[in-house]
Amino acid sequence: MNILSDPTQTILELQARVLERIAVGAPLREVLALVCELVETATPEGVCSIMLLDEATGALNVAAAPSAASGLVSALNGLVPSDLAGSCGTSVYQRQPVYVEDTGTDPRWEAFRAASVTYGIKACWSYPILMSGGRAAGSFAISRPSCGTPDESHQQLLRIASQLAGIALERTRSHDLLESAVRRYQDLYDSAPDMLASIDPSTLRIVECNRTLADIVGFSSDELVGRSVLDLHHADSRVGTKRVFRMLDGQDEVEREGLQVVRRDGSTIDVNLKVAARRGSDGTVLHLRAVWRDVTRRKRAEEALQRSQRLDSLGVLASGIAHDFNNLLVGITGNAELAALSLDPDSPARRKLAEVLRASARAAELTERLMSYAGKSKLTIGVVDVCSLTRESVELVRSSKPRSVDVVVDCDCEDAMIDGDATQVRQVMINVLVNAFDSIGERGGSVRVSLKTVCATRDDLSAYTFGGDVDPGDYVLVEVTDDGCGIESDVIDRIFDPFFTTKRGGHGLGLASTLGIMRSHRGTLRVESRIGAGSCFRLLFPVSHAVRAADTTYDAPTEFGPGNTSVLVVDDEVAVRKVSSQMLTALGYRAVSVERPSEAVELVREDPNRFGAVLLDLSMPGMSGEEVFEGIRGIAPNLPVVFYSGHSSEAEVQGLLADRAHATFLAKPFRIAELGQALELVLPSR
């Protein structure tokens, strides 16, 4: 190809070959080098170069110069455009062609005189590469070993070559921008929290999907592409899923809640599905876009809230029942004790009264379980060695159950302690173990009890659907697993309800009290079960960071010598007032009882020194026990007070007694000796 013989043909061939490489997406440097090579073929004495502007530095660098010496390329790199920056720098600066006839005399080449001599450059013709909008992005140049200016055919060749270089550059930058946009879209698509997929409308098969869908269901994107979208759904959800796609015949977007997607491992997640149709100009559905939103955590939270609200409501009911029942028991046990005191030691009636007291004690245990469920049981908080306590509980249960059940205890946290009431924590262990043994029955089986410390995150705790709202942190995890008959799925949510039982002769308070104790200990639990495969109870107790103290006991006084001390009894229940007064009389006190709280305050106001102590119910209409206390202490600041109640929680009791001297708490029902001990605690030593 020689421009001197046929300039037009030369330019056409140049355009055709370069545009072909651009069309097939050849790399930019390859295309620019081809432009230089083809022009050099047409102008045998010329050495071609293409320089591109670095927008970050504002300098020109050589992008293509296949025939130029490497030293010349190094000398040209970093050229800053100006009026005196050689042919190329000046051309870019002025955005005009610059034809230097003699580099030895042209002032624009003064800074490059040495390079021109070294590399034999006598003339240099440069044409700016202009982008859309007229911005100069570089230059195309022909350097010659002899002085001279370009004729019309050379000028045309320079212009066409710079245009082709500009086209290649525009195409590359557009392609880069497009690829960048595609990458950003793909990143957004893949990192979207929702599961996304494109669906073939004719086959309902997945055409593409995002990484979120693949990660959640456990299949790779390649495995998902080509599968029917219906295969992702649980069998129970497929009818609803089909209905969604059928509804698209008349709508552009359909949404359905309450579906389930099946993971690779067989587990399921709850989802809401939204499907949108993309139509052509004639209304034909081109493709479908499906969006699955994982609502498992939200649904679990809603279920936990509903369960908590139901349990709270039942707790209020249980607390109210326990309160009324305890008031009745005060009358029963108090009168039975008083009657026994009035009889001869050998009287047959004393044995009958002893039976009444034993029955009352069993009734009190039932109310205590109700109080445990309501989270208002009496707690004696200490540092509990949960491993030792668990082993003791296992031995207690095993001694009363069939030997056909094997029990394995695996404690991985021998030094772990929890803050709690040892008696109540033991009751939790016994209740859960009894449930495991009973589910196995006489047929034989095994129970495994494992304990370890765990650091539970908020995500971990979200799976614990029973118990209170607990915080992330260190816990002792107790797992009791059996291979018994299992629990029906529709029964699991009810097993902690008071009075609900599936056992013949059961009273439905064992697991109910377990839940209440766990909540009062700031713990939580979960249950997993399969019919025929057994159950697993997982209990979390917060780890204690306290040091276990030595056990202490309290030796209560056995003799009471109150003398002429008067005690004011304040209770709205007539039976409780009556029996409490009689108990006080039996202990040697003088009792004065009133029904209304306001009467109590008035009696103390009339004579602040009349009473040695006050026996004060916490739950009364009109004024609470605390309000009565404040009224009395406002008159007689040091008057001893024994609060009593049938349904106050440990936290309420601790808050009640905090910073209140000469005050204690007595739980209903109580025996005469317990009342005497409470008074001894608050009355001055004698």
Please check whether residue 624 is in contact with residue 602, taking contact to mean a CB–CB distance below 8 angstroms: no
End-to-end CA gap in the chain: 128
Measured CA to CA, the distance from residue 115 to residue 149 in angstroms comes to 20
Low-confidence winner among 158-167, 296-305, 311-320 (lowest mean pLDDT): 311-320
d(CA 286, CA 144): 59
Predicted pLDDT at 150: 92
Average of per-residue pLDDT across 107-129: 92
Higher pLDDT, 598 or 655: 598
CATH class of 195-294: alpha beta
C-alpha–C-alpha distance, residues 375 and 368, integer Å: 10
Region for residue 622 given its phi and psi (left: phi exceeds 0; alpha: psi -120 to 50; beta: otherwise): left
Kind and range of the H or E element at 384? strand 382-385
Query: What pLDDT does residue 465 have?
Result: 66
Q: What is the pLDDT of residue 481?
A: 92
Specify the range with the lowest mean pLDDT, choosing from 384-393, 495-504, 583-592, 676-685: 495-504
Q: What DSSP state is assigned to residue 233?
A: B
Mean pLDDT of 526-535: 86
Residue 678: pLDDT above 70?
yes
Instruction: Report yes or no: 598 and 613 within 8 Å, Cβ to Cβ.
Output: no
Q: In terms of C-beta density within 10 A (0-12 exposed, 13-18 middle, 19 or more buried), how is residue 459 classed?
A: exposed
Alpha carbon 197 to its chain's center: 26
Mean pLDDT of all residues in 345-374: 71
The pair phi, psi for residue 132, each rounded to 5°, is -60, 135
Phi first, then psi: what are they for 234, rounded to 5°?
A: -60, 150
pLDDT of residue 374: 52
C-alpha to C-alpha distance for 414 and 428, rounded to whole angstroms: 19
Average pLDDT, the chain: 82
> Tokens 């031995």 label which residue?
395
Q: Please determine, for residue 286, whether its predicted confidence score (pLDDT) is greater than 90.
A: no
Of the two residues 282 and 631, the one the predictor is more confident about is: 631
More confident residue, 251 or 641: 641
Query: Does the pLDDT at position 561 exceed 60?
Result: no
Of the CA atoms within 13 Å of residue 438, those in its CB half-sphere come to: 14
**Is 196 a residue whose pLDDT tops 60?**
yes
Window from 341-350, 614-623, 663-672 with minimum mean pLDDT: 341-350
Top pLDDT among 496 and 671 is at 671
Residue 72 has pLDDT above 70, yes or no: yes
CATH number of 7-177: 3.30.450.40
Task: Domain 300-373: give its CATH architecture.
Answer: Orthogonal Bundle (1.10)
Which of 640, 625, 651 is closest to 521 using CA atoms?
651
Task: Give the tokens for residue 644.
Answer: 């009593």
Q: Give the pair of three-digit tokens for residue 448.
A: 């495994």
% of the chain at pLDDT higher than 70: 85
Is cis: bond before 193, omega within 30 of 0? no
More confident residue, 21 or 251: 21
Neighbour count for residue 399 (Cβ, 10 Å): 8
Distance CA 405, CA 413 (A): 25
- Other Cβ atoms less than 10 A from the Cβ of 12: the count is 12
pLDDT at 557: 34
Q: How confident is the model at residue 282 (pLDDT cuts 50, 70, 90)?
A: confident
Q: Which residues of 246-266 are buried (b: 16+ CB within 10 A; e: fewer)?
A: eebeeeeebebeebbbbeeee
pLDDT beyond 50 at 333: yes
pLDDT for position 377: 56
- Assign domain 382-542 to a CATH class: alpha beta
Ranges of CATH 1.10.287 domains, the chain: 300-373
Q: What is the pLDDT of residues 199-241, one digit of tens each?
A: 888 888 999 999 999 999 999 989 999 998 888 888 888 877 8
Select the more confidently predicted residue: 359 or 2.
359
Q: What is the pLDDT of residue 120?
A: 92
Q: What is the pLDDT of residues 12-49, one digit of tens each?
A: 888 888 888 888 888 989 999 999 988 888 888 889 99
418 within 8 A of 542, measured Cβ to Cβ: yes
Instruction: Give the pLDDT score at 255.
Output: 86
The rounded distance, in Å, linking the Cα atoms of 622 and 597 is 8
For residue 619, the one-letter residue type is S
- In the chain, CATH 3.40.50.2300 sits at 566-682
CA-to-CA distance for 485 and 531, rounded, in angstroms?
A: 6
Instruction: In whole angstroms, give the CA distance from residue 367 to residue 315.
Output: 12
Residue spans in the chain of domains classed CATH 3.30.450.40: 7-177
Question: Cα–Cα distance between 77 and 62 in angstroms, integer?
Answer: 6
| Confidence tier at 649 by pLDDT (50, 70, 90) | low
Residue bearing the bigger pLDDT, 636 or 550: 636
Amino acid at position 634, single letter: G
- When pLDDT is averaged across residues 151-161 and rounded to a whole number, the result is 90
Give the pLDDT band of residue 553 (cuts 50, 70, 90): very low
**Mean pLDDT value across residues 383-411:** 82
> Which has more pLDDT, 304 or 642?
642
Q: Phi then psi for 330, rounded to 5 degrees?
A: -60, -45
Q: What are the start and end residues of each CATH 3.30.450.20 domain in the chain?
A: 195-294
Whether pLDDT at 545 is above 80: no
The confidence band for 80, taking pLDDT boundaries of 50, 70 and 90, is: very high
Which residues sit opposite 59 in a β-bridge?
54
Assign domain 566-682 to its CATH architecture.
3-Layer(aba) Sandwich (3.40)
